[in-house]
Structure 1
Amino acid sequence: MSTQPFDGNAPVFGALGRLYQQVYGTAQSLISHNLLSLFARLAIAGVFWRSFLNKVETNGLFDYVEVINDFEIERSLLKIPAFPIEIRERVFTNFSEGGSNHIPFLPGDLAAVMATMGEGILPILLVLGLLTRFAATGLIVMALVIQIFVFPTNAHFWGSIALWFVPLFYLVGRGSGALSLDYVLSRQFAR
């Protein structure tokens, strides 16, 4: 059950207010920090993991062919990185000087490797709930770099970055919850 008091309206609206408080008080007790943090970890990890998969060579699992406008398109239900991990050449080009993802204070090759590895490692940590606050902080830094140096527009901030910040700041502030390796390991080492 939730330890936070219900923050909804007091039943000043009579029966309707009491119903509101009952329904949303129950929702508040059911949607716990553990559930919210798990969902936040999985949702934001998916955003950065998909970007990682666009930067590296991948293998498809469960391949199938889809016909769109009489064209056959090969698809996969699941993509995984090909091992050993190989960053695509276009990623290095995009991060080089004059590229669309150029970061002024970093050499292009270094920025490409850092971005790719950050998008590959930090989401895995989030899914596992391992070093959650560190991983979320790393993705906040990455999002800020993207916003400031790659897409410095209000539209990009409000269309993407602000939405990424909600789960990331939640995870930094509240942690990974009980459905995580952080929780299990902290209990194990506390003994």
Structure 2
Amino acid sequence: MTTQPFDGDPPAFGAAGRLYQAFYGAAQGIISHSLLALFARLAIAGVFWRSFLNKIETNGIFDYVQVINDFEIERSLIKVPAFPITIEASTFAQFGEGGMFELPLIPGGLAAIMATTGEGVLPVLLVLGLLTRFAATGLIVMALVIQIFVFPTNAHFWGTVALWLIPLFYLVGRGGGTISLDHVLSRQLAR
């Protein structure tokens, strides 16, 4: 892997400019595309995976009780899907007629299954770095559907969806990097 020449500002301001260029040139050498792609994949996968876990039945690991305003609330440090994977009735209700996530032209039950499947499968592909561009494209479509049909406000776009789209567009444009199954498989198939 070759290091890209420093693409920052020219070393203006004498010694301070040279120090700036040396520091950020070194940072650019350390923070490679592969490292950025890995971080982008993990970060955005976590967002959609947590949404997936909210739509299905789960089992908790390391359960504990938290007291909030004199109410005991059961919590888990880690949630994992309960098998067989079962979509909760509340998820179907949210996508059904009059529900918060009701979509035009798509029946509520089908929309609930599609959204849950997308949020369950695509993040796993991103974490593995397998079919990275495809998975990121699928999540872009989901993010845009959420923006256009569920929460069509500027505040939601700039506060949430724009932050999702940045890593997703990066992954579509640049791929999963060398720390991915895409890279490993493409090298194996090239032999």
| Alignment TM-score, normalising by the size of structure 1 | 0.97
Report Cα offsets for 1:123-165 as digits up to 9, x if no partner.
0000000000000000000001000001100000001000000
How big is the shift at 1:93?
1.0
State the SS of the aligned residue for 2:179. coil
Aligned to 1:8: 8
d(CA) in 1 for partners of 2:66 and 2:100?
31
Identical aligned residues as a percent: 76
How big is the shift at 1:2?
5.5
Aligned to 2:46: 46
d(CA) in 2 for partners of 1:12 and 1:84?
62
How big is the shift at 1:67?
2.8
Paired residues for 1:95-174 under 5 Å: 95-174=95-174
- Equivalent AA in structure 2 for residue 125 of structure 1: L
- The 8 Å contact of residues 44 and 168 in structure 1, kept in 2 or not, is answered as yes
- The 8 Å contact of residues 2 and 29 in structure 1, kept in 2 or not, is answered as no
- Equivalent AA in structure 1 for residue 65 of structure 2: V
d(CA) in 2 for partners of 1:5 and 1:107?
52
d(CA) in 2 for partners of 1:34 and 1:146?
29
State the SS of the aligned residue for 1:87. coil
Aligned to 1:60: 60
- The 8 Å contact of residues 2 and 28 in structure 1, kept in 2 or not, is answered as no
In structure 2, the gaps of 5 or more residues are none
The alignment of Structure 1 onto Structure 2 pairs a total of residues equal to: 191
| Alignment TM-score, normalising by the size of structure 2 | 0.97
d(CA) in 2 for partners of 1:142 and 1:105?
15
Q: CA RMSD in A?
A: 1.1
